[in-house]
Structure 1
Amino acid sequence: MRLHVVHHGIRRRRALRRRALWAGGEVLVTVGILMLLLVAHQLWWTNRQARQGAEHKVEALERQWEGGLGDPGGSGDDPGDGSDPDPAPGDGGDSGTSVPSASPEPPGERSAAADRPSTPRRSQAYAILTVPRLGLRVPVAEGIGKADVLDKGYVGHYPGTQQPGQAGNFALAGHRNTHGEPFRYINRLRPKDTVEVETRTATYTYTVDRTLPQTSARDAGVIQPIPRSTVHPGRGYTDPGSYLTLTTCTPEYTSRYRLVVWAELAEVRPR
């Protein structure tokens, strides 16, 4: 009868392999759990935090306006630690492209701009955007910085574009995914849907007119005073007016392109 002899060296190597496999498995499981926690943080926790913060800011603005308190141009959120770059359409970032101001109004014509507040300071929440079709009601803050505006669940106003009710283009950006994702479903807006912008002095109602499903992140033409795509020249406007532009990233969970929705001013109701 032959006996199978196993040398101690072989046993040690097998034990080492088993321990290595076990340790490798533990590392993979740990990494997987950390990845799941990161995804949960990005897709759930940031949305929860940002939405709660945005809701509280909307309530604070409403209380402030009802009480006739505050200077819209001189109070609000923390000013931050720097200035906004010249904007390009999107949910943050810079392009080095400046946005010209709209032409002055003809003499003798009174518009809603006559009652507009002074220019808000950087990161100040000063208006409320309401989109009935989407059940959306969020603050509008000055600037498109991520940390001090967009990541709070707010919608950001492109510096250099016009203010609500003014002749020209009141252009806004918002996250499509994470951090409250206020613009996640703006692709569902259709012509004749309404969008309201409330300020301390008035409510401006815009009517959705057209959509640009996808354009370059550097297509600054869509937020010009007369919005018209420089990438798709046939998309946009040719005549002056009072426009509202909503921009966000597309496709979802990427920032490669921009989705654009345009609306025109239809009604102004003083508060």
Structure 2
Amino acid sequence: MTALRPERESGASYGESFTDSYGGAGDQGTSYGQQPYEGSGALGEWQGGEDYVTQGQAPTQAQAQGAEGYDAGYGSAGYATDGYGGGSYEGPYEDLYSEQHSEPYSETYSEPYIPPADDETVALRIPDPPATGESISASAASSATSTTGPPTGGRAARRKAARRRHGRHGGSREESEAAETSPETSGAPLSRMEARRQAKARKPSPGVLASRAIGEVFITTGVLMLLFVSYQLWWTNVRAHAQADKEASSLQDDWASGKRNPGTFEPGQGFAILHIPKLDVVVPIAEGVSNKKVLDRGMVGHYGEGKLKTPMPDAKTGNFGLAGHRNTHGEPFRYINRLTRGDAIVVETQDKYFVYKMASILPVTSPSNVSVLDPVPPGSGFTKAGRYITLTTCTPEFTSKYRLIVWGKMVEERPRSKGKPDALVS
């Protein structure tokens, strides 16, 4: 910005004041705001010197005398000592001066002159008071100019302002302008080619369709897996418990009515009830170890078929082998690993109770280790033939990779007529 420049005042300099005031061609006021002298005598005669000053003609004798009188009264010495210089005025026009300055200054006060705005030098100015309705719009326009106007400051400030307006890389102003002037936004009807182009642009690409299809397949698969897990872990237990309870009630009703007698049973036919008081297990025992006919229905199966056939509990010697699920489908053997030596295992039949005491456990073995069902199973701690019971199930939980084995030895055979054994009463 250039330096400040003083504005031209209403009055002129001393030389110009002399020409204008006393010659009649300048402003009405002098540099001191006084009115031009209009007197008689030498001053009046000097006014005739206008031709000499403005028109360049030779002064007359009277005009020359008036000039001499002016030099005598308002010369360099006299002007320095008059009322303008602060001293006493003693010229030939003392009376005229006293007459004009006898009364106080009473000119009408006028507003100070405010120069117009200078575009090159922005000087201080007094703004016009805004109207009531224009104040809000002016403030809004100023805020809009501050946010959208050209950025001030260095290069970094300009870059930040450009990022705020058009994104990180300046944005695509051309695209935004084209979108603003597009037929869709302007409301103009679309041509057939433009409509086809826009419909093609809105149509998803094959990659998008494939990703959607894959996502839907994954979602469907996940939902199906969740439903299957819920079915296996929850619903199968609900159904198996219901079927097992129904079979146990049917057995007890038949025993009470005398419809069933000890003997050979068909595969899937229930013939006894297993009690494990410590684990709160009460489950029917059915013939065979078929999943569909026995195990999946929540019952315990008896190894009574083929090479894995084992004797019944009422046999004089032998190993009574049972199998059951550890997880799902009623999971009757889920916690048999918690049994300890001496825990009771009771088999209830139509006419007797057979009470066993837990003797030993084999935590992990192969599914093909069928020797655990031998009359004297190895690893059980038994040394001679006797009346034993073997419980088999899968391990670890929720898998069927290995087998868990629990052995027990019969300690009591009690007829039903004598009531329940102590293991079931307590």
* TM band (smaller chain): 0.7 to 0.9
* Alignment-derived partner of residue 93 in structure 1: none
Partner of 1:154: 299
Aligned residues of 1:174 and 1:182 also touching (Cα < 8 A): yes
Q: Look up the match of 1:170.
A: 320
Shift in Å, 1:16:
3.6
Q: Which amino acid aligns with 1:26?
A: E
1:123 match: secondary structure: coil
Give the Cα–Cα distance (whole angstroms) in 1 for the partners of residues 412 and 235 of structure 2. 38
Deviations 1:200-249 (A, max 9, x none): 11010000011000111011110111122xxxxx4442211100000001
Instruction: Find the counterpart in structure 1 of residue 365 from structure 2.
Output: 215
Question: Which residue number corresponds to residue 273 of structure 2?
Answer: 128
In structure 2, C-alpha distance between the alignment counterparts of 1:135 and 1:124, rounded to whole Å: 23
Aligned counterpart, 1:197 = 347
Residue equivalent to 1:238: 383
- What is the CA-CA distance between 1:29 and the residue it aligns to? 1.4
Structure 1 residue 18, shift from structure 2 partner: 3.1
Where 1:145 maps in the other structure, the secondary structure is: coil
Q: Is the CA contact 1:123–1:141 (under 8 Å) kept in the aligned structure 2?
A: yes
The answer to which structure has the higher strand fraction is 1
Is 1:264 aligned to 2:414, yes or no? no
Distance (whole Å) between structure 1 residues aligned to residue 364 and residue 382 of structure 2: 17
Aligned to 1:32: 222
Aligned partner of 2:248 in structure 1 is 58
* Kept after mapping to 1: 8 A contact 2:380/2:407: no
Contact 2:367 2:402 survives alignment (8 Å): yes
- In the TM superposition, residue 21 of structure 1 has moved relative to its aligned partner by 2.6
Q: Deviations over 1:111-162 (max 9, x none)?
A: xxxxxx2222222100000000111000101111111111111100001201
Counterparts of 2:332 and 2:363, CA distance in 1? 17
More helix by share: 2
With the length of structure 2 as denominator, give the TM-score of the two structures: 0.49
Structure 1 or 2, whichever has the larger Rg, is 2
User: Is 1:119 aligned with 2:309?
Assistant: no
Higher relative contact order (CA 8 A, sep 6+): 1
Q: CA deviation at 1:12?
A: 6.6
Task: Check 1:226–1:11 CA distance in 2 against 1; reply closer, same or farther (3 A cut).
Answer: same
Per-residue deviation, residues 66-123 of structure 1 (Å, max 9, x unmatched)? 222224xxxxxxxxxxxxxxxxxxxxxxxxxxxxxxxxxxxxxxxxxxxxx2222222
Counterpart AA for 1:35: M
Q: Bigger shift: 18-27 or 206-215?
A: 18-27
Measure, in 1, the Cα distance between the counterparts of 2:310 and 2:214.
55
Change (3 A) 1:3 1:14: farther
Give the secondary-structure state (helix, strand or coil) at the position aligned to 2:371. helix
Contact in 2 for aligned 1:162/1:225 (Cα 8 Å): no
Quote the Cα distance in structure 1 between the aligned partners of 2:370 and 2:288: 15
Match of 1:183 in 2: 333
> Quick check: 2:288–2:301 contact (8 Å CA) kept in 1?
yes
- Measured on the aligned residues, the alpha-carbon RMSD in Å equals 2.3
Q: Which residue of 2 aligns with 1:48?
A: 238
SS state of the match for residue 70, structure 1?
coil
Which consecutive unaligned segments of at least 5 residues does structure 1 have?
A: 72-116, 229-233
Normalising to structure 1: TM-score of the pair? 0.76
Question: Gaps spanning 5+ residues in structure 2: where?
Answer: 1-171, 179-193, 417-426
* Identity between Structure 1 and Structure 2 (%): 48
Question: Counterpart in 1 of 2:395?
Answer: 250
